[in-house]
Structure 1
Amino acid sequence: MTRKPEIPGRDREGRGSGVTGRPGDLGALAFHPWLLLAYPPVRELAEGLVRPAAPAALCLALFVALYALSVTLSFRGRRRAATGTLVALVLVTFLLLTAVAEGWFYLAPLMTIACGVVMRDGPVYPVLTALTVALAVAMWWNGSSWENISLSVWGTAAGGLVVSIVLKLFSVIAELHRTREELAHAAVAEERLRFSRDLHDLLGHTLSVMVVKAQVVRRLAPHDAEAAARQAADVEAIGREALTEVRGAITGYRGRGLAAELASARTALADAGISTAVTVPGARPAPELDALLGWAVREGVTNVVRHSGARTCEIRLEGTVLEIRDDGRGPGASTLGNGLRGLAERTAALGGTLETREDGGFLLRVTIP
């Protein structure tokens, strides 16, 4: 399996990796070259410019070890151990700068770099401010010039700030990658839901009409073969039309529109022996509204044919309010099947409402603002 690229020093949940050779260790290694800032003190020790040399060398070795350890522990996700190591590093740094080797102030940026790494998700700015102020006071106490103090303070503060900002940027990028993947999964799930809903709406209505016509064929076959043949031809035509609609749904086709659905509804209701009255303005609605009203007619008439046992059905459109009313029993006002739920979702997407009510029959009302 191909492994997706990850942000250095972070795992899939955004934590530091704790396995050697994984991104956590790679992220820590990226900060180890900064230890080259410790080269001048090493050179001074080698040239015998620091006295006493043994305590200075011991403190310098401890400083280097604590820096590397704090950065590594932080990228491995061991926050508590990394914070404790950072505190020890700060103490050793100020011990070096105030008591052992007063001129090694260029080690201070390493201290704040480690601080930026360890505390990148914590109160890094107040801590960096406190360390920078303490460094300035320590340098002033040791008689450093204001020029040296300003340069050291700027380098110390900038080191920690830049590292903290860069690591937070990597964290944001990793979060964006995860969010993009989640949105992609959500889009796929939504498309699957849309597709299944469309197939239900398309095939549910069509199969209901085919069943009704098949029943008509069965009743007519013993007495009127010619009429039965015509109904059988209608079943064939409806099946072909359903195949076309399914192919259209696969390519994103959403519906046939109000006029086509009304024509299909009249045929389906007439074949089911249900008297139909249609009151619809001649003007064609806007495309999105036309598609929605067509779906509403399709779903409403399907329910009338399937569930109502009605004798009459009225379809009325006034403005953007569509009503389908029958004198049957309906599927139950409190029970929404998959088709009505899908219709309700489509209606809500356009800011409208869907209402069902039993009132001397069954009423389906779709209202669009």
Structure 2
Amino acid sequence: MDGVVVLLALSLGGLLVILGVEGSLSATRALAAGACLLGVFVPFPYLLRVAFDGRPRPTVWLVLTGMAALGAVLLIPPSSDGGLGEGSWSMVAFLWLSAVVLFQPLWAALCTSAAVILLTSAGVAVITGQPWQVVLPVQAVSAGTMAAAMWLWRWLWWTIRDAHESQEAKAGLAVAEERLRFARDLHDLLGHSLSVITLKSELAAKLATKDPGRAAREMADVRRLAGESLTEVQLAVDGYHGLDLHEELDGVRAALEAAGTRCTVEARTDGLSPGARALLAWVVREGATNVLKHSAATRCAIVIDGGVLEMRNDGVHGSLAGGGTGLRGLCERMTAVGGSLSAGPTSTGEFLLRAVVPA
């Protein structure tokens, strides 16, 4: 839109120079007309941004640009033969009208459009001597086309913005569902065990003086249950009771595509040990979480060749070379088993997560 406004300003500025060189406008009048054109075109991008961001009410800027447009209209009247001057005269007024209709309700926009069209048609008809029956339809079509195009452009912008926000909402929902799933796993693992531990501890405290032997047995059960609970939690944190690589790839692809990201997977995992497959499954899960949380990706490619995994995505918001807590934890785990992990933006503007594990 800014480019269109700049091109239109340059064309009208060039027309103003032509009129000045031809002698149709005096130097003083040409400079004043140029100042009025600047008063219309300079604030115009600001007006469009305000109108495209929401449904604003008319502001003083509309009044100021309208006065500048009126000044340009009065200083550059239509030529008597209907030449270039007529086109510039109408264009300035209709450009201002296309911005005004974005700030008004429908009934007010129709009234304003009718007033501008009638005024421009009357001016053209008086100066050129053309019948108003000929001038009015031309002016109405020109003004209506420009105003409708601007309104349609804003509607298209809002549609694209809503679609983008819905994708972000889907990505946030996918992350929230993953957190809820992990919370449910921890609740299922620890809820029963901690309840039993609490009851046995209270019972052991009551039996400490009455039946020391039974109290000791209860505390032994408490230690056993605590150890089992700790093991189960470690298993959950390490991979939700053991991740299956292919199941994780299928789940990640479904989650990314639900968030509007096209995901392709190429996995050649023959010969990988169970431990290596589990590590790569965790890398895939953490990488997908980062794509959903930290990018506006439209495509993601996951390639596994032996013990090497590469995950690429576009839509990077910023440099993540430092990595978050999840990536640092993965890096430490990879290093502990003799592997490696790296993550960062590439020269092509993508983000690359690369993991290498011993086969």
TM-score in terms of structure 2 length: 0.46
TM-score in terms of structure 1 length: 0.45
